[in-house]
Amino acid sequence: MRTAMLRSLLRSSSAARWFSSSSSPERKVAVLGAAGGIGQPLSLLMKLNPLVSSLSLYDLAGTPGVAADTSHVNTRSQVIGYAGEDQLGKALEGCDLVIIPAGVPRKPGMTRDDLFNINAGIVKSLCTAISKYCPHAIVNMISNPVNSTVPIAAEVFKKAGTYNEKKLFGVTTLDVVRAKTFYAGKANANVAEVNVPVVGGHAGITILPLFSQATPQPNLSHDVIKALTKRTQDGGTEVVEAKAGKGSATLSMAYAGALFADACLKGLNGVPDVVECTFVQSSVVTELPFFASKVRLGKNGVEEVLGLGNLSDFEKEGLEALKPELKSSIEKGIKFANQS
Ligand SMILES: NC(=O)C1=CN([C@@H]2O[C@H](COP(=O)(O)OP(=O)(O)OC[C@H]3O[C@@H](n4cnc5c(N)ncnc54)[C@H](O)[C@@H]3O)[C@@H](O)[C@H]2O)C=CC1
Ligand SMILES: O=C([O-])CC(=O)C(=O)O
């Protein structure tokens, strides 16, 4: 279901006709940081999405080129590039969905939290503009550290009087994408039929894949589950090291970001039973104010935050172990937003 759009694109010899046949509502989507490593392929994937009617590509520089390039693809949306802070308002006006991959990526040896000092300020200024120009938009936060940037966004929106907890999402889809891929390999399963919930947050041990709830469920040993868990938690670092100083995951992240944005748009359009794992304000899952878990998406954003279900003893231990780090990252974000 989730990859139907991309699979149809690959299969169809007349993709343009397939895409232009959409009659879904008008939806304006902005990508902030659209000229970056994630921003460019994500902009292309959003251009391919028939649910988008208007695509607004914003960055400090370079977006006129990305927009001109992307706009030649013969699909539904009209694309406009906006460059520089004075054009941010226009980029955001009337948006239904704003996707934020703006900010610096990791280099080998860094943690996601090492990005806080630069990215916290970027996210704060972008969210201030969102609260002014499209206060009702759904926000998909990709910029790291997600465990802190989502609480920063919430505080900025609260201060502006525009906070709607149902519309703010930390994008953790790449953790799910990785968990599915790695699990399918070990389970010898068709990856297209694999499902794995991933909960917690988006950094190191705060990423908690729930392989006990994965489907299909072959009999994998505890050692294999432990190794799969570690590989999922270290997936970002695996890419950072392989890129050797040239950034972090961009292509797989663009794919994951496009999947999550598509799910949000489907929810907005009233498609039933759209469920994704995502980092949201959460009161029913743990005592922490934000937590990633399965969430049902709907016309207003979050329709329902779903519980964790039954956990294995190993997952229960993982859950307790992640809480202090996640709590401290959340608090760091809240403190930053209220201090500066
Ligand atoms: N949530 C997740 O699963 C993942 C998150 N990320 C994060 O995404 C972020 C972006 O990564 P990349 O695209 O690889 O970085 P990049 O450096 O290639 O691109 C970032 C873009 O943001 C732009 N930018 C910086 N300040 C801006 C501002 N104030 N307004 C608009 N644009 C601004 C830059 O000009 C640049 O084009 C990083 O923080 C990275 O850690 C990366 C992979 C996965
Ligand atoms: O690891 C990073 O820095 C980027 C990221 O969040 C990921 O790939 O999951």
192-249 pLDDT tens trace: 999 999 999 999 999 999 999 999 998 899 999 999 999 999 999 999 999 999 999 9
Mean pLDDT for 268-288 is: 97
The Å distance, Cα 75 to ligand 2 centre, comes to 30
Q: Residue 20 above 90 pLDDT?
A: no
Q: Identify the burial level of 272 via C-beta atoms within 10 angstroms of its C-beta, where 0-12 means exposed, 13-18 middle and 19 or more buried.
A: exposed
Compute the average pLDDT of residues 311-321: 98
Confidence grade of residue 134 (pLDDT, cut at 50, 70, 90): very high
Would you state the pLDDT for residue 340? 66
Q: What is the CA radius of gyration of the chain?
A: 19
339: which residues sit within 8 A by CB, 6+ positions away? Answer: none
Ligand at minimal distance from the CA of 292 is: 1
Question: Average pLDDT over the chain, rounded to whole?
Answer: 94
ipTM of the complex: 0.99
Mean pLDDT of 177-181: 98
Under the banding of pLDDT at 50, 70 and 90, the label for residue 4 is: low
As a whole-number percent, the residues of the chain with pLDDT over 90 amount to 92
pTM above 0.90, yes or no: yes
Report whether 111 contacts 203 (CB < 8 A): yes
Local confidence band at 13 (pLDDT 50, 70, 90 cut-offs): very low
| Nearest one of 148, 172, 142, 135 to 33, comparing CA atoms | 142
Is pLDDT above 50 for 18?
no
35 belongs to an annotated ligand binding site: yes
Rounded Cα distance between 282 and 165, Å, is: 9
Longest dimension (CA), the chain: 57
Ramachandran sector of residue 182 (left: φ over 0; alpha: ψ -120 to 50; beta: rest)? alpha
Nearest CA to ligand 1 atom 11: 105
Percent above pLDDT 70 for the chain: 93
Q: Look up 202 and say whether it is catalytic.
A: yes
38 is in an annotated binding site: yes
| Region label for 94, one of left (φ > 0), alpha (ψ between -120 and 50) or beta (otherwise) | left
Residue to mutate (ligand 1; options 31, 45, 58, 60; most atoms within 8 A of CB)? 60
pLDDT at position 256, please?
98
Residues with CB under 6 A from ligand 2: 105-106, 112, 144, 174, 235-237, 239-240, 248-249
Mean pLDDT of 168-173: 99
pLDDT higher than 50, residue 108? yes
Q: Is 49 annotated as a binding residue?
A: no
Per-residue model confidence (pLDDT) at position 208? 98
Average pLDDT over residues 55-73: 98
* Distance from the alpha carbon of residue 23 to the mean position of ligand 2, in angstroms: 36
Bridge partners of 100?
141
Tokens of 254: 């663009």
Binding site annotation covers 17? no
Per-residue pLDDT, 22: 53
Please tell me the distance between residue 14's alpha carbon and the centre of ligand 2 in angstroms: 35
CB 102, CB 321: distance < 8 Å = no
